[in-house]
């Protein structure tokens, strides 16, 4: 509503600046100012759940109003006029209690809201001896407000659910034994003992033990992930069957989960372009309606029939009230953003959500976004007489002591490999060592001649691999191809985007040959390689000028491009702080298939917003002349107008439904 009185759900159209926002901020308004929701770690209490509708005290005034209104009608039909009038007055006062005080407060602060229009209409109806109509108006308006409150509360339940993922206590491992402390007291670098089935109190890195973790409630990824030493675990995820000792990488109060919650709270405090459009229509409409009603009443005085036209002025006042307009967008936006947070998509503002629904091009960073972010051995070529396993064993032995990413990939391909002796490393050229009496050397083709494997080396390089040549006792014995592989779902994601008529682009700092090879696998035609951060930002600026463009990245080097895009999307809300800060949307997980699903979710939300705004305007356009010429009386206008408002609310709540793609992928993961 533009002015909801005691209700706490008014849209931003009611705010009227900072002064007005301050009046309602203590009431928990969803749009006029975000109210931080405290988790159990800060208050010691569980977040309050939304009660069932028959137990919701906020619906009580409306229920009382409706009950006494019906009883009043029954008594009137029975001929008990005085008793009917008393019960109708009780119904009127019970309904008016929910919006009249707020309307008066708004008027004192210079705000003209729909609640004020309804107050004037109710008072006028009483003065004209239309108490039943005034009671009906109060009942339906208060009920619409209460239903809007419940819609807002439902949209925020995803945020409350995130907060409940934080346990109240954690076990800190110390020399004298384990100590149980409140989660708020956990500090970075503390060693935490996490038993089977327990939740992680904060982000950490595994120090000891192996287990699987269920991070579905945090990241939206349903398949448990195996973790061991030196591997990260996110706050709020559930440990599997093994006991783990982790080193906290964040405080109990400030971790990836609380960061996600803060981002969702920001979304509740901001509005999108289409919401501002609704406000621009609704705000001037309120005083315009008051002026129109005044002119109608003045016309009655001029023609000598003041009472008839004053009554019509009151009906016009109700008919042209932009109730539905005020709530057409906020309910939809908050419902959609709250729903998105539940499947791992954190949208930082209503504006970002609306722009997200217009996207026609998606630009991907390569490393860590389209790819898995760490190199792997993907192919091995050997000379005759040398087995693949032998070649890898020799290479892993000499690379074991190196910290180079390629060395790590080769070592990882041979678990528990022996370590070479007499190892020496020539930085940038290769590593030399002795294995089983042989002198083994590994390095780049630029420094070690592939010999008879030159053609193979070119083929591997053309396929986007970094080639490592292995030499034994001075002769080339094989090649190892290492590449940062595409994510398993990358090609499927690109196909899903193309099916939605969305173009895809790859932006990367890698060399053109590697970028093209991976782009072909992913199904991306437009490849722009060897891009510096400023080059990426310039490319995004040009793409955005042509059509709405989203940039997807996860690193500091992506931050300028993320900020330049129509919508910037950070992969992993716990990744680069610069990327997350620059982005409009953050994915808490790394499943790229959430991207086309989230775009479909945003498009659907925009369609619902458009329908709501069109319906709200249609209500005013249709009812105004009917009220002006006396076709509909006050009771009829109140009924049609407020029922239509309820329809707008229910339509907006539909935006909370998860995209079909998310439900399908979730079912697939669970079946596995």
DSSP assignment of 388-428: HHHHHHHHHHHHTT--SHHHHHHHHTSTT----EEEEEETT
**Do you know the residue count of the chain?**
672
Q: C-alpha dihedral over 458, 461, 463, 466, to 10 degrees?
A: 150
Q: Are strands 503-507 and 526-528 parallel, antiparallel or unpaired?
A: parallel
Tens-place pLDDT, residues 454-498: 999 988 888 888 889 999 988 999 999 988 888 889 999 999 999
Res 372: pLDDT: 80
Q: Based on the number of CB atoms within 10 Å of its own CB, is 566 exposed (0-12), middle (13-18) or buried (19 or more)?
A: buried
Rounded to two decimals, what is the model's pTM? 0.61
Beta strands in 148-306 (DSSP E): 169-174, 177-182, 191-194, 204-208, 211-214, 225-227, 232-233, 238-239, 244-248
Q: What is the DSSP code string of 516-551? A: HHHHHHHT--EEE-S--HHHHHHHHHHHHHHS-EEE
DSSP state letter for 50: P
Distance CA 107, CA 477 (A): 87
**Cβ neighbour number for residue 218 with a 10 Å cutoff:** 25
Q: Are 300 and 310 in contact (CB under 8 A)?
A: yes
Largest CA distance in the chain: 118
Tens-place pLDDT, residues 606-658: 899 888 888 888 888 888 888 777 777 777 776 776 677 778 878 888 887 77
Helix H, strand E, coil C: the string for 464-492 is CCEEEEEEECCEEEEEEEEECCECCCHHH
Q: Based on the number of CB atoms within 10 Å of its own CB, is 311 exposed (0-12), middle (13-18) or buried (19 or more)?
A: buried
Distances, alpha carbon 269 to alpha carbons 126, 348, 374, 560, in Å: 38, 9, 38, 25
Q: What is the set of active-site residues?
A: 365
Residues in the chain with pLDDT values less than 70:
1-56, 58, 112-114, 117, 121, 124-125, 128, 144-145, 147-165, 216-224, 260-283, 321-328, 330, 403-405, 426-429, 555-557, 572-582, 638, 641-642, 659-672
531-555 burial, b at 16+ Cβ within 10 Å, e below that, comes to: beeebbbebbeebbeeebbbbbbbb
Q: Are 637 and 623 in contact (CB under 8 A)?
A: yes
Res 245: pLDDT: 94
Q: Please give the structure tokens belonging to residue 417.
A: 């490999």
Res 581: pLDDT: 60
Res 537: pLDDT: 85
CA-angle at 96, arms to 95 and 101, nearest 5° = 135
């Amino acid at each position: 509503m533009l002015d909801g009185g005691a209700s706490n759900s008014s849209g931003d159209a009611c705010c009227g600046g900072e002064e007005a926002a301050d009046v309602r901020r203590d009431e928990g308004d969803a749009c006029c100012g975000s109210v931080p929701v405290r988790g159990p770690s800060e208050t010691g209490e569980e977040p309050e759940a939304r009660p069932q509708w028959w137990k919701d005290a906020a619906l009580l005034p409306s229920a009382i109003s409706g009950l006494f209104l019906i009883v009043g009608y029954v008594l009137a039909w029975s001929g008990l006029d005085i008793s009917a009038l008393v019960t109708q007055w009780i119904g009127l006062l019970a309904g008016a209690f929910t919006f009249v005080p707020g309307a008066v407060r708004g008027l004192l602060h210079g705000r003209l809201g729909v609640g004020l229009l309804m107050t004037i209409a109710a008072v006028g109806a009483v003065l004209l001896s239309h108490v039943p109509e005034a009671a009906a108006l109060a009942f339906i308006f208060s009920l619409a407000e209460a239903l809007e409150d419940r819609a807002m509360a439902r949209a925020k339940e995803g945020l409350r659910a995130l907060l409940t993922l934080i346990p109240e206590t954690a076990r800190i491992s110390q020399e004298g034994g384990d100590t149980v402390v409140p989660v708020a007291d956990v500090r970075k670098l503390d060693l935490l003992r996490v038993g089977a089935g327990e939740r992680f109190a904060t982000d950490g890195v595994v120090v000891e033990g192996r287990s699987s973790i269920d991070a579905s409630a945090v990241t939206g990824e349903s398949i448990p992930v195996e973790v061991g030493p030196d591997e990260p675990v996110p706050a709020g995820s559930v440990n599997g069957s093994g006991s783990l000792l982790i080193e906290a990488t964040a405080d109990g109060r400030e971790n990836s989960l609380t960061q996600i919650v803060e981002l969702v709270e920001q979304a509740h405090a901001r509005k999108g372009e289409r919401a501002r459009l609704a406000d621009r229509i609704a705000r001037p409409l309120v005083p315009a309606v008051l002026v129109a009603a005044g002119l109608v009443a003045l016309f009655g005085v001029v023609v000598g029939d003041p009472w008839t036209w004053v009554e019509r002025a009151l009906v016009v006042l109700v008919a042209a009230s932009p109730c539905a307009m005020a709530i057409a967008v906020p309910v939809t936006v908050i419902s959609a953003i709250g729903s998105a947070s539940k499947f791992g998509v954190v949208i930082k503002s209503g504006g970002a959500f609306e722009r997200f629904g217009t996207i026609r091009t998606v630009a991907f960073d390569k490393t860590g976004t389209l790819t898995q972010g760490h190199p792997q051995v993907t192919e091995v070529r050997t000379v005759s007489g040398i087995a693949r396993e032998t070649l890898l064993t020799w290479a892993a032995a000499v690379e074991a002591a190196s910290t180079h990413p390629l060395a790590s990939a080769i070592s990882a391909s041979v678990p528990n490999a022996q370590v070479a002796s007499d190892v020496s490393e020539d930085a940038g050229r290769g590593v030399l060592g002795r294995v089983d009496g042989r002198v083994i050397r590994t390095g780049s083709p630029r420094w070690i001649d592939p010999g008879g494997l030159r053609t193979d080396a070119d083929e591997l390089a053309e396929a986007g691999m970094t080639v490592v040549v292995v030499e034994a006792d001075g002769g080339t014995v094989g090649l190892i191809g290492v590449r940062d592989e595409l994510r398993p779902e990358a090609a499927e994601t690109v196909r899903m985007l193309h099916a939605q008529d969305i173009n895809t682009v790859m932006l990367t700092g890698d060399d053109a040959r590697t970028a093209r090879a991976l782009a072909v696998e992913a199904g991306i035609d437009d490849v722009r390689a060897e891009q510096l951060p400023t080059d990426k930002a310039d490319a995004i600026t040009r793409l955005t000028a042509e059509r709405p463009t989203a940039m997807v990245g996860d690193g500091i080097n992506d931050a300028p491009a993320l900020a330049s895009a129509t919508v910037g999307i950070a992969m992993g809300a716990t990744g680069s702080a610069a990327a997350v800060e620059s982005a409009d949307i953050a994915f808490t997980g790394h499943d790229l298939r959430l991207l086309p699903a989230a775009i479909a979710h945003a498009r659907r939300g925009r369609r619902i917003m458009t329908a709501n705004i069109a319906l709200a305007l249609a209500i005013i356009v249709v009812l105004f002349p009917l009220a002006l010429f006396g076709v509909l009386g006050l009771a009829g206008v109140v009924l049609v107008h407020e029922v239509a408002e309820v329809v707008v609310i229910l339509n907006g709540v539909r935006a909370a439904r998860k995209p079909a793609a998310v439900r399908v992928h979730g079912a697939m993961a669970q079946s596995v």
